Amino acid sequence: MLGSEYDTLLALAGTTDIVVREYLEAYPQRAEAVIRLFRAAQEEGFEEWDRLRQTIERDRKASA
């Protein structure tokens, strides 16, 4: 639960870019794909981020 609360604080502080930067530092080879994802989301007006996160978490649990 602490991770979720920390994420909420980051969002409220307007510093969500920290999380994206940390991800890209860990996986620099995925930068182009991440850029394309956010560009497509912006162009399409995508708003189902919680559903996307739930799908990722469900798939991860299923493969474990």
Residue 64 pLDDT exceeds 80:
no
- Cα separation of 50 and 21, whole Å? 20
- Cα separation of 63 and 2, whole Å? 25
pLDDT digit string, tens, across residues 2-58: 567 888 888 888 888 888 999 999 999 999 999 999 999 999 999 999 999 899 989
Q: What pLDDT does residue 4 have?
A: 77
Q: What pLDDT does residue 3 have?
A: 66
- Cα separation of 58 and 21, whole Å? 24
pTM: 0.72
Q: What pLDDT does residue 33 have?
A: 96
